[in-house]
Amino acid sequence: MYTMSQEGNALVYRYDGEVLSVEPWGANSFRVRSTILGELEDTDYALLKQDEVKAEITVGEYRSEIVNGKIRAVLEVSNWSKKCDISFYNQNGKLLLKEAGEGGALNKKNRFFKPIIGGDFHLTVTFASEPKEKLFGMGQYQQDILNVKNCNLELAHRNSQASVPFVLSDQGYGFLWHNPAVGRVSFASNTTEWYAESTKQMDYWITAGDTPDEIERAYADATGKVPMMPEYGMGFWQCKLRYWNQEQLLEVAREYKKRNIPIDVIVCDFFHWPKMGDFRFDEEFFPDPDAMVRELKDMGIELMVSVWPQIDWKSENYEEMKQKGLLVKAEKGVDIAMLYNGNSTFYDATNPRSRAYVWDKCKQNYYDKGIKVFWLDEAEPEYSGYDFDNYRYYQGTNAQIGNIYPQAYARTFYEGQTEAGQENVVNLLRCAWAGSQRYGALVWSGDIHSDWETFRRQVCAGLNMGVAGIPWWTTDIGGFSGGNPEDESFRRLLVRWFEWGTFCPVMRLHGDRVPSQRVMNQAGEVMQPTGADNEVWSFGGENCETLVKYIRFREAMRPYTRKLMEEAHTLGRPVMRTMFYEFPEQECCWDMKEQYMYGSDMLVAPVMYEDAVERQVYLPAGAKWTLVHDGTEYEGRQTVTVKADLDVIPVFLRDGKLSELVGLI
């Protein structure tokens, strides 16, 4: 016989070895867990402890319910099979989400635990599907799709793919798959199916809200908020692949100051070290990093330094880290996770001892020299072959917990920096998982190609990352791979991308421009090349004027950007916002993927097609709109066609706000 009972503040069902618990987890929210032949685990992968909210629990013979503010869960037990189905409703009695059910004679299981010999389970959780439902979030996938309904998504990280398994529904709920296992999700027309390759329990969080903003704020309360963005995060960041020595980097910084072009951050990219895993400057190419940092600070520029998690077999730290068990291990074969300029594996970011070791090295060799911002590259981590079932971490197998790696990587530096007394930490990472934001993670979209199709994908990626709870996000302006600064076609792409980058949470120019230049050391060994020039003056004089104009506009926007960063920090709001975020009552706004809101007062419509010199923009009802370029005023509730020559991106201001910006671009 099954049992249904109130246990503390939770509604609990027990039958045939399963324990299923529904409990309040923040306002208007539930955490739902289930396991087989064991007890529930209090994992804290992303969810933070919440202030206790007293639930209203009613236990019946076959139907029980639990209510927490605006959300109600109903558990119904079949009189025949004794299986339990869960349905969720809002405060108005509207059905939000329900499990798919056993399907009569089909005898299906909503929560199917398929045993793996040795202890874990393959887990499949199936919900009924509302075919017309619209779903958003889930992190960063390289597709020109904003509404992920009818998408099949891999729950795994890759270079340029960040799986952050939070989804927001136009039906009025948000759902977090609180499981870092490698897996997949299918938002099909007939069912929604979540799958974990290896796990011990089902664990998800669901919240109800009347607006997207209410849902996002509840999610931020549950998983954490970003720190306050420091001032140097709000301006322009200069980067290329790669400034290969100290003097080259300083000369670029000096040229920016000589030209009086505002710049907040300059970046020292990868292979400024002798071997991967040495976590220090190569003395041959960077003979006096202390003096380099001092000169940059005197110019008002912060230095960001690249750190990779790879530990080369020839690194000065490899043997010690191997002896102490601080490295990711292969389940079979040789412990090589990546083949790139040598044999390497990764430091195990899920191991607190490994985190402490890596931070100690970086503190000695970077932080103590005055470097306060880090580029935590390769954060997925990037395996040479994405054989997710062949690696084991301190916290579990990669199949079981691998998606938490980028969060733990960000945590390594965030905790080290805050313990050293730093406030307002921001570090650049190439990947994220739920909760990464609370560790100061600024995520960028990876080693993407330099073409128009890829450009369009990034807008969807950035908006869905914001919905997924990652408000700090950016791209390599111009794309990473390729792009010749002398090529007119690429120059047009770069200008359009740069204009859009002005209205991303962080504005950062980066890329591996061609042709590359060869670099050799004193011993005659070939080192990593330095890409072609990638500074704003590298793309022609007229284009340079346009790019500088947008850098100056970014400076003029600084008070507004600061306000948006405060909202992200205190309330958990995204900086880049989908149109429906600000205008949820206007149905058409749920379908718009090529325009968005930068905060609540600025509508941005990037030009993302090569030969376009105009574009259509929908101006939402309930507001008046002013075109930044020439001050033209428009009533809302209409679609307008706006001229957009190469040096113009259509941007509109809401209800007379930010009038000081009119005419600056």
Residue 228 resides in a domain = no
pLDDT block averages, 10 residues each, the chain of length 665: 94 97 98 96 97 96 97 96 97 98 94 93 98 98 98 98 98 98 98 98 98 98 98 98 98 98 98 98 98 98 98 98 98 94 97 98 98 98 95 97 98 98 98 98 98 98 98 98 96 98 98 96 94 98 98 98 98 98 98 98 98 97 98 98 98 98 96
Structure tokens at 587: 């149905």
Q: Residue 413 in 3-state DSSP?
A: helix
Q: Report how far residue 128's alpha carbon sits from residue 231's, in angstroms, rounded to the nearest whole number.
A: 46
Check: CB of residue 497 under 8 Å from CB of residue 478: yes
Residues 204 and 168 in one domain: yes
Helices 452-467, 488-501: crossing angle, 10 deg rounding = 10
Look up 61 and say whether it is catalytic.
no
DSSP tally for the chain: helices H, then strands E: 12, 40
**Beta partners for 638?**
619
Q: Which residues, including other chains, have CB under 8 Å from residue 352's CB and lie 6 or more apart?
A: none
3-state secondary structure 514-566: CCCECCECCCCCECCCECCCCCHHHHCHHHHHHHHHHHHHHHHCHHHHHHHHH
Q: What is the DSSP string of 220-273?
A: HHHH----PPPGGGSSEEE--S---SHHHHHHHHHHHHHTT----EEEE-S--S
Residues 453 and 381 in one domain: yes
**Which CATH number goes with the domain that contains 629?**
2.60.40.1180
- Using the 3D structure, point to which of 523, 550, 571 is the last residue of a domain: 571
Residue 24 resides in a domain = yes
Helix, strand, coil proportions of the chain in percent (round to 5)? Answer: 25, 30, 45
* Intra-chain end-to-end CA distance of the chain, in Å: 71
**Domain count across the chain:** 3
Look up 380 and say whether it is catalytic.
yes
Residue 532 resides in a domain = yes
- Using the 3D structure, point to which of 507, 537, 571 is the last residue of a domain: 571
Residue 113 resides in a domain = yes
Q: What's residue 118's pLDDT? A: 80
Q: What's residue 482's pLDDT? A: 87
Q: Report how far residue 470's alpha carbon sits from residue 439's, in angstroms, rounded to the nearest whole number.
A: 11
Catalytic residue among 214, 302, 377, 499: 377
Phi, psi of 280 (to 5 degrees): -165, 165
Residues 406 and 459 in one domain: yes
Residue 229 resides in a domain = no
**Which CATH number goes with the domain that contains 127?**
2.60.40.1760
Average pLDDT, the chain: 97
| Domain extent at residue 597 | 578-661
Residues 597 and 559 in one domain: no
Residues 447 and 370 in one domain: yes
Look up 99 and say whether it is catalytic.
no
The answer to whether the peptide bond before residue 242 is cis (omega within 30 degrees of 0) is yes
Query: Using one digit for the tens of pLDDT, what is the confidence trace for 200-243?
Result: 999 999 999 999 999 999 999 999 999 999 999 999 999 999 99
Catalytic residue among 380, 476, 567, 601: 380
Q: What's residue 197's pLDDT? A: 98
Q: What's residue 207's pLDDT? A: 99
Residues 172 and 266 in one domain: no
Number of Cβ within a 10 Å radius of residue 637: 12
| pTM for the whole structure | 0.98
Quick one: DSSP state of residue 416?
H
* Distance set, CA 127 to CA 97, 171, 377 (Å): 7, 14, 36
Q: Is 443 left (phi over 0), alpha (psi -120 to 50) or beta?
A: beta
- Using the 3D structure, point to which of 223, 253, 279 is the last residue of a domain: 223
Residues 565 and 582 in one domain: no
Catalytic residue among 447, 533, 555, 647: 447
* Distance set, CA 212 to CA 85, 466, 578, 583 (Å): 27, 12, 10, 9
Order across the sheet with 338-339: list the strands: 310-312, 343-346, 338-339
**Beta strand spans in 535-657 (E):** 576-577, 596-598, 602-604, 614-619, 624-627, 633-635, 638-643, 651-654
Order across the sheet with 183-187: list the strands: 111-115, 121-128, 191-199, 183-187, 152-155
Residues 510 and 485 in one domain: yes
Phi, psi of 630 (to 5 degrees): -135, 5
Residues 67 and 163 in one domain: yes
Order across the sheet with 95-98: list the strands: 56-58, 63-68, 71-77, 84-90, 95-98
**Beta strand spans in 26-94 (E):** 29-36, 56-58, 63-68, 71-77, 84-90
Residues 584 and 566 in one domain: no
Residue 199 resides in a domain = yes
User: Tell me, what amino acid is at 462?
Assistant: G
Residue 416 resides in a domain = yes
Residue 16 resides in a domain = yes
Check: CB of residue 546 under 8 Å from CB of residue 647: yes
Residues 149 and 122 in one domain: yes
Q: What is the DSSP string of 338-382?
A: EESSSEEEEB-TTSHHHHHHHHHHHHHHTGGGT--EEEE-STTT-
* Distance set, CA 585 to CA 196, 347, 353, 621 (Å): 35, 48, 50, 10
β-strands 84-90, 95-98 pairing? antiparallel
Residues 345 and 492 in one domain: yes
